[in-house]
Amino acid sequence: MTTLAKHSITKLADQLEKLAERAQTEFCDVSDFIWKAPNLIDHERELELSKLDAYFSNHPELRKRRWETESHKLDHKFPYLIAVGNLFSAVSLFESYLLLLAGELQPHVTIQLRDVKGLGVSRLFKFFRLVGIFPEQLPLHEQVQAAIKIRNCLTHASGMLAWSRENDDLRNIQSSGAYLSPEHRKMRRDQGGQFHEVFIGESALGDRLAIENLYCHVLCSYLHTYYSALCEAAKVLSGSPEIR
């Protein structure tokens, strides 16, 4: 191995280490936001209750109508929007860092991402496999895949299972708790609990997939842990003959 090659490998390993550290910081920030986001509802509930006394103290019927409208938003619409928005943000951040990882590897491998067929995460995972990194062998891969399917259903089908091409997979993911790690599933079963972070509700258009904000918080930890393992796998690869 030439001095230049050794320098290139060392530089790549350093870049991967810095990338993993950046990802850790960002995922920690997002996780903190996800955890605190429901506080908005608590704040708004107190505010709306104070408005009832200030604006409608002598108008009980108007007071009732106002609270029916506002409480519905606080109890149903806002939690949905917060949870779904947080899921989108967490998975989007993960996808961005997958792309950054691919970008770090590009100058050191013969295979180029532009030549790999596919879309989104599937294309990036295919690229990683082609250069010698195997995402499916890493812990939490099943949970990452589940999160992407859940995100896609909420994005493209508004959660309506009948509109999703992955209807059967999503139902199985929800019923089996496959969106949780094996350890978390075992803990839940041992405690006699239900898998409630992802659930299926009824709607006028049929069964609808939905999530709790707690799922987004747990998922953020999964995504960060998985990404760190992916970077470690890339660092191991940096010492192989395929890396130039």
Q: Name the pLDDT band for 3 (thresholds 50, 70, 90).
A: very low
Comparing 53 with 122, the larger pLDDT belongs to 122
Residues 122-154: tens digit of each pLDDT: 999 999 999 999 999 999 999 999 999 999 999
Q: Is the pLDDT of residue 5 over 60?
A: no
| Percent of the chain residues past pLDDT 90, beyond the cut | 82
pLDDT at 238: 65
**Is position 219 within any domain?**
yes
Q: Would you state the pLDDT for residue 148?
A: 97
Is residue 128 a part of any domain in this protein?
yes
In a domain, residue 121? The reply is yes
List all residues 6 or more positions away from 48 whose beta carbon is below 8 Å from its beta carbon. Answer: 67, 70, 71, 74
Q: Number of folded domains in the chain?
A: 1
**What is the pLDDT at residue 4?**
34
Q: Which candidate, 176, 188, 186, places its Cα nearest to that of 214?
A: 188
**What pLDDT score was predicted for residue 236?**
84
Helices 141-156, 78-105: crossing angle, 10 deg rounding? 120
Task: Indicate if the pLDDT at residue 42 is higher than 90.
Answer: yes
Distance CA(147)–CA(125), nearest Å, equals: 15
Res 215: pLDDT: 98
Q: Is residue 1 part of a domain?
A: no
User: Which distant-in-sequence residues (6+ apart) come within 8 Å of 29 by Cβ?
Assistant: none
User: What pLDDT score does 2 carry?
Assistant: 35
What average pLDDT does range 91-103 have in this prediction? Answer: 97
- Which residue segment(s) compose the domain that 215 sits in? 8-237
Q: Is the pLDDT of residue 8 over 80?
A: no
What is the predicted pLDDT for the residue at 193?
87
Query: What mean pLDDT comes out for the span 91-117?
Result: 94
Q: Is 90 inside a domain boundary?
A: yes
Over range 223-230, report the average pLDDT.
98
* Mean pLDDT in residue range 231-239: 83
* Rounded mean pLDDT, 21-29: 97
Would 113 be classed as within a structural domain?
yes
In a domain, 2, yes or no: no
Assess if residue 3 is contained within a domain.
no
